[in-house]
Structure 1
């Protein structure tokens, strides 16, 4: 089974990481898809995007430990949600991996990214000068990916359009490790919110960050 990680991060929240090795047919056999979902995945074609979509839904089923149909929709902001369930969810995928976080209480967000050096060429687009001045970020590829994934996880946690990475999501100084946590300030329309974001670097070169908080 390509489930490489299933971890309870607190009493209410679980994350999972899936290495995508199956083909489309294998994923379809493991899912119950209704006509509107079949119509949607037909629109995706037959490439990587389709397989990643199927993988996140297969992983969601694993984390919820059910063989029943899971009615998963997308709201007007593009945030996934479950109809007829109190669980809150977030999806991410990158190349050969899919990631899902679920919680029966907290709002959640998750991001997974393959680490590439080219992130240095866009760092000024998502980081402020103060953030770039932090030595653990600066010109450090891993530090830049922690910052990117943390901001993406916070964006998904918020779940609404209009939150800009550089202007509204701010990374506080942290100690860079292979696995750790950091504080992030989100400037929301109604308040400034401090969030605890966890992250880890996988053995095969991916960065994962996630948040679970009200």
Structure 2
């Protein structure tokens, strides 16, 4: 399967989606892995997480247009980074899709989620009361997924642990569109950061993406 969707955010930043239709073996054969990565993948074998891990790495390779080994590590906060290539990266996955965002200049964050009714049941865990007040009834599920994906993208872009979506990330009111922008703020201790988060509905998935 080729890249399903690709968007140039600016001259230094882009993201893409990969629809995972291959088997794990087909994806694995497209990668170069070191011994630690091979050992790690064996622990994931035969799980959906294994397909997702492989899918994001194959997509990363396609976006960087290289057949060489890509040394992709994860830091102490769980944020992936490239050891020897000058790109900031963010990875995400949900059901049949892998998503990757790269930038030459700034930290980035991306999140993809399949749209499901269950988000309404957990909204209280990631939404403030004032945020719930601007959620419209006719597009409630979609708008809640925008909020979740936006906060997840901000969290990934910031790249530090112990951030509460409800307590530390605030979204300004917005009206749901299929592809639009919203404003977010991350406040924690001495940290006070503003973000402009883009979102996009693609098929029955929601995607949030942001550049720091």
Q: TM-score, normalised by structure 1?
A: 0.96
Q: CA RMSD in A?
A: 1.4
User: Matched residues in 1 for 2:172 and 2:156: separation?
Assistant: 19
Gaps of 5+ in 1: none
* Partner of residue 53, structure 2: 53
Gaps of 5+ in 2: none
* Partner of residue 17, structure 1: 17
1:70-98 deviations in Å (ceiling 9; x for gaps): 00001111110000122000000001100
State which drifts further: 194-203 or 128-137: 128-137
User: Matched residues in 2 for 1:86 and 1:188: separation?
Assistant: 29
Structure 1 SS opposite 2:118: helix
* Partner of residue 129, structure 1: 129
* Partner of residue 38, structure 2: 38
User: Matched residues in 1 for 2:189 and 2:100: separation?
Assistant: 27
Alpha-carbon distance change, 90 to 81 in structure 1, aligned in 2, over 3 angstroms: same
Alpha-carbon distance change, 173 to 150 in structure 1, aligned in 2, over 3 angstroms: same
State which drifts further: 137-146 or 105-114: 137-146
User: Matched residues in 2 for 1:51 and 1:67: separation?
Assistant: 20
Matches of residues 44-123 of structure 1 in structure 2 within 5 Å? 44-123=44-123
Q: How many residues align?
A: 212
1:142-198 deviations in Å (ceiling 9; x for gaps): 000000000000000011101100000001011210111100011144331110000
* Partner of residue 212, structure 1: 211
User: Matched residues in 2 for 1:66 and 1:123: separation?
Assistant: 41
User: Matched residues in 2 for 1:187 and 1:137: separation?
Assistant: 28
Alpha-carbon distance change, 188 to 103 in structure 1, aligned in 2, over 3 angstroms: farther
1:91-143 deviations in Å (ceiling 9; x for gaps): 00001100000000011000000000011111111100000001348970000
Matches of residues 126-205 of structure 1 in structure 2 within 5 Å? 126-136=126-136, 140-203=140-203, 205=204
State which drifts further: 189-198 or 146-155: 189-198
CA positional deviation for 1:47: 1.4
Q: TM-score, normalised by structure 2?
A: 0.96
